[in-house]
Structure 1
């Protein structure tokens, strides 16, 4: 009888993609702290009715322009409204605008980018020239132009911010598609008659996700900043909405007299945008194949 030899597999099993990603991401301490802050911010926004100590729109004329106290941790505004409560409620608006606008821009941009890169020729030229036209405008000016057409309001801000997010997502998806459509498994799928739509969904789209996810996380911070800027100049959220940019606009009249009106909303915008950018950096380091050992 001939003896058969059994070759044992390596003791260390291949990690699942999600666990492998988490192993790499948790090494990014700063990004991990940023993620915890973002989660805390989302929870605070979701639980605003329970966490906010005061009604954000209820005036109290006995506590007008008070500085930070034990009762009002961030002071009060010109109507006696609690700044801390308004910041918590404002997180709902800012985060909603950031997530919804970037999600809408990513859906449209990635779809156009994959179609452009996959089909090429005149389809590619047409879509990319439209993207070049949009990229020729500074983001805030393009958003103002969209608001000028649609009118002020937080819903239209979401559309405006989404519009200037589309071309960048389209370029990201197109670049990856141009590489992936030359892959052997894509050629094999075409050879056996797989529909283009199926190839783009099953083979091209998953390959674009790492870059899109990284940019998505960073773009949320940019969108929050842009929405705040639009509200600051009166084109976004309208009074008495507790939006951070609108709060800055209200507080600029009292600078030098009640600086807390602009200080605390400004800190909220700064820290939130910074957290999303740091989180995006950590995602990039964990997902970028070039950085894998």
Structure 2
């Protein structure tokens, strides 16, 4: 009797420890809007993501449904999933992975996206910063006029990337990594912008605008920009190193709000100066370094 009971429990346990099928989460299917551009409609082959949905499992079948209720009940599948025209953009397709070996079913979703075609509603205004120091150097937020380029377009469906050369904007290379805190390298300077949908693999637009500040940024400024700071990030002290003859420098440290944290003049010995940052809170700062008519700004991370 005990042996029979034990065997029954083992069989019962095995029946309920079979692995339940699990649907993989597929990547979106993205098609450029080439068929009647502007209608945001294309013909999708849903089956190209079946490998990701099945995820190596066997004895399963995949069906595609317009609603979650249909997928949960296994009803109303799309009759031709290899040629489905989207009726919304983006559109969510509900996918049912069904075991043919009694291991249940699972439901996941598949996104269909036709990237929007961007339109530059208006070329943004030039950005001018009058700091009053007449040194031709400033830290610019290049993003402040994006709404002018967007116009009535949905800001959550587009992205902006910034460059110092038009060829880079077209090729999407050498992007300005921190456009909200950009130190100009010429005055005035032309900035090039790549406006694209979030899925930046189809249509895009390139436009430009000018940034300018008070004063003249000359050859000496470019020379001073070859100085370096280390370590960065820093916790105690920061060393400023120069590859040219400099006897003293004036340093001003700004926080991300543009507030002056401290300002002092320090001497340069053997091409280096050191400043103490040990008491500063952990954050991102901007170190403005000036010597005679030369100025440069370096980004500093305090940890």
Q: The TM-score by the shorter chain falls in which range?
A: under 0.3
User: Where is the strand percentage greater, Structure 1 or Structure 2?
Assistant: 2
Q: What TM-score results when the alignment is normalised by the length of structure 1?
A: 0.21
**Comparing both structures, which one devotes a greater share of its residues to helix?**
1
Report the TM-score when normalising by structure 2.
0.21
Q: Which has the higher contact order (CA 8 A, sep 6+)?
A: 1
